[in-house]
Chain A
Amino acid sequence: MDMLIMGLTIFILAIFVGFEIITKIPPTLHTPLMSGSNAISGITLVGAVLSAGIQQTILTTILGVLAVIFATINVVGGFMVTNRMLEMFRKKS
């Protein structure tokens, strides 16, 4: 039960932090915000790496590798495309 309460505490605090930061991001940067926060949501990669690496059974390994592929596309693609967009906003200042 302890772990659950800890987890919930972190969850709720993180939502407050998220709220504080996101409301200060100007509309002009909302598209990079979506692709950037999307890239961060690829953190599932961590869980995928564990399954693919622990290799408890053949099935879990396959599931893990597939998850690694999808999560990595999410992460690498997400950060790269966000960077590409943000570079365009930087050029003129």
Chain B
Amino acid sequence: MLPVFINIGYLLASILFILGLKGLTHPRTAVRGNLLGAAGMLLAVVITLFDQRIISFYMILLGVVIGAGIGAVLAVKIKMTAMPELVALFNGFGGIASVLVAGAALIEQTSGSQIPLIQLTIAIAASGTIGAVTFWGSLVAFGKLQGLIHEGAIGFPGHQVFKGFVGILVIAFCVGVVIAPMNPFLYWILVAVASVLGVLLVIPIGGADMPVVVALLNSYSGLAAAATGFVLSNNVLIITGSLVGASGLILTQIMCKAMNRSLANVLFGASAPSGDGGASADEVYAGRVKSATPEEVALLFDVARRVVIVPGYGMAVSQAQHPVANLASLLESRGIQVDYAIHPVAGRMPGHMNVLLAEADVPYEALKDMETINPTFDQVDVALVIGANDVVNPLARTDPSSPIAGMPILDVDKAKTVVIIKRSLSPGFAGIPNPLFALDHSLMLFGDAKKMVLDIIAALKDV
């Protein structure tokens, strides 16, 4: 097939990708959008098979079959609570694919006697660097999310300096690859050094900041694909890579704004936030924390008319989304209005809480974002906080020296009664105490989220 037809095919595929992403602007059109995207991908791959330089399909077929098998199994088997890990893993795979393709292209383009153009070598170096950083960074993110690596921030003396040093090494080897492309070893050393950088970048970041990291790595995998596009002079790679790159960057920005921290602060900031500007846990809690039983909470619900449920990472950990949805239906059957308040950085990934609740058949109209629900908290009878901590901590409003200062929070303290389900008074990832727990109209329900919600349901049925 003539190259012009292949390029028209690529253009069609790009259009399908754009339309596919557009479908995600509403749950109604989302499924169709995803199918359009998949169709675009199929078209792009099939069109590529017509490239006249291809001599055999067997190897391609082998790779596709193996990859499809592994991908399908992972996609079908994964628990929704592990979605952030899976996205991180797939992300990483995209990165390593870019590294391998650029590496192959380097060998292919330097096998002749002519020296490749400088824009090609720059693109190859970029592809290898970004791909390697993405792959290893994603693996570390996966490890942290799965609990395989220590979840909190890990630092060692001088780690910032070391990171900077490795960064300089990466740039040096990039230049090396560009100046001396005929020596493929330089490329692979570059990949190795960039891999170290990838690990170093993600290792110091704490679990609660993972949404930002996963979104950023998502963007990197797109940029790596775009770089590979420049290597192969392939338009569909450039367009698609840029779309994904932009998508990830915007999500990252949204996350950072939601935490009121700059990206630089998240990536390179203090590895362990210090709470010594504020009060200690004892000062905040002593004698003021009231704990309740599920039966008492059920009585509260019995006389309530408006309830807002605030889910957090604890709900995901406890896999409590189904009992929570059942509790909500039970309350609604008694004429109580139930809404969910979803903070943008609740959970380990943007929209994580929404997916979990959707899995439990909660209609998406009941999931309210922060701007919509915050003004209404003063009319709420009971705010039920399940496994959320920093996103409902009033210190963000009142204490300018706190690590979460200025972060927009859910104003649950304005509700008439606040019930917090938590296993203990241990702090969230900001490491600071939460005065919400010590308020006069707050009640703590200590226990595992799933069990506590089931107990409340049982108690409600007796009321």
Contacts and interface: CB of A to CB of B under 8 A. Distances in A.
Interface of A: 3-4, 7, 10-12, 14-15, 17-19, 21-57, 59-61, 63-93
Given A69-B66, A77-B71, 12 more contacts: A14-B246, A18-B242, A26-B26, A28-B27, A28-B367, A34-B218, A38-B244, A44-B97, A44-B224, A72-B63, A74-B93, A90-B30
A72 B355 contact: no
A52 B90 CA distance: 21
9 contacts: A33-B350, A34-B248, A36-B21, A43-B225, A53-B56, A72-B63, A78-B90, A80-B71, A86-B27
Interface stretch (B42-50, B197-205, B293-301, B445-453): B42-50
B41 A27 contact: no
Given A18-B243, A71-B97, A46 B22 contact: no
Interface of B: 17-18, 20-22, 24-28, 30-31, 33-35, 37-38, 40-41, 44-45, 48-49, 51, 53-57, 59-60, 62-64, 66-68, 70-72, 74-76, 78, 80, 83, 86-87, 90-91, 93-94, 96-98, 100-101, 103-105, 107-108, 111, 119, 214-215, 218, 221-222, 224-226, 228-248, 250-251, 254, 342, 344, 349-352, 354-355, 358-359, 361, 363-364, 367, 369
Nearest to B359: A88
Contacts of A43: 41, 44, 225, 236-237, 240-241
Contacts of A22: 21, 246-247, 250-251
| Interface class of chain A by DSSP | helix
A14 B78 CA distance: 32
A23 B250 contact: yes
Nearest to B360: A88
Contacts of A55: 55-56, 59
Given A43-B240, A64-B59, A69-B63, A34 B97 contact: no
Contact of B241 (A28, A41, A60, A66): A41
A33 B243 CA distance: 12
Given A28-B367, A74-B93, A76-B68, A14 B238 contact: yes
Nearest to B70: A73
A41 to B, nearest CB: 4
A32 B30 contact: yes
A38 B101 contact: no
Given A21-B25, A45-B97, A40 B56 contact: no
Nearest to B226: A11
Contacts of A7: 229-230, 233, 235, 238
A2 to B, nearest CB: 11
